[in-house]
Structure 1
C-alpha cells in the first residue's frame, strides 16, 4: 500500500467505525445495561447467601458430638463460598451466551438504503471495493456484519490483497502462459540419423 492510499484507508475505516457505532449503539447499550443489572442482582443475592451461611447456628447438633459440630463450623464457610462461585460461573456462562446471541442478532440486521447511499458517496474507490468484497451474498441486502467485516479487512490490508489477486489472475489468464502440453515435442536427433530399415523379403 503506497503513501497515497494509507490516508484514504484510514478515512474509510473512520467512516465505517462511526457508521457502525451509530447503527449498533442502542443494542449494545441495552445489552450492557442488562448484563450490569443481572450482575448487580447476583451480587446482592450472593451476599445474602454468604450472610445466611454465617448466621447458621450448629449448637443444636450437639447430639452428633463436639467434633462433628466443630468440623461443621470450620468448613461451613468454604461450602457456601464454593456454592456462590459455582452459581457465579453458571450465571456468567448464560450472560456470555446472551451477549453472543445479541451480537449475532446485530450482525444480521439489514443496513438501511440511506446508510448505503451515504457510504457509496463518502467511501473511496478502495473502500468500496473492499466493502463489495466483504458483501459475500449479493442476493441478500447489506447487513451490519458485512460492514464489520469490511472495517476489519481494511485494517488488515485487504485492498492490497485484492489488487495482488487480480494481478495473479491476469498473469495466469495471459495468452503468453501457454500450457507445456501445447508446445511441440523436441525431435530426437538419434532418430533422424538412424538409417531406415527396409522390410525383409520373404521367399
Structure 2
C-alpha cells in the first residue's frame, strides 16, 4: 500500500463517523472536509501524547540521575580549653627521656624532653603536646590521628603516625587520652624509635588540671 492508498484509508475511516445534517442531503465535499479535519485532529492528539510521553521520560531520567542529597553534617562538639595557669599533666621519666620544660597553655600543653642519661647511644630530643577535646595540631589538617595501631596507652587507643604532624622526620605516636582529646609524642634524632615513644606516652598522666568547656 502506497502513501495515497494509506491516506484514502484514513479518510474513509474518518468518514464512517460522519453524519449528514438533519433533514438534508449529505454533500460529498462537506464529508471529505470533515473527514480530513478528523484525520488532522487525530494526528495532533497523537503528536501531543507523544510529546508528553517524551517529557515524562526525560523528567524521570533526570530525577534518577540526580545525586542523592548529602547528609546533614553532624554538629561539631564545642572545643574545650585548659586552664592556662595550671599544669594539666604530670610527665615522668620514661623511654630514656626526662621532662626538661613545661609550657602550659589554653589550647595546648607542651612539654619538652631531654635525654635522661647523656653520653649514650640515645642522642635524640623529645616533645609532648597534649590537646583538649576538639583541639588538634596545625599540622594535622584538622583530622583525627590515624596510622598503624599501637598498644593502648592507659586503656586508650593509640597510633604510630605514618606522617608526623609535629616535626618532619620525627617518630611520632598519638593517643586519645580521653574521648575526643589527643596527646602526641614526637622523638627525633639518633636512638628515637616507636618503643621509646610508647613508653614516653605511658609516662604522661592527667594531673588534676582537667580540661573545661
TM-score bracket, shorter-length normalisation: under 0.3
Instruction: Decide which structure has the larger Cα Rg and report it.
Output: 2
| TM-score calculated relative to the size of structure 2 | 0.23
Q: Which structure exhibits the higher relative contact order, with contacts defined as CA atoms closer than 8 Å and separated by 6 or more residues? A: 1
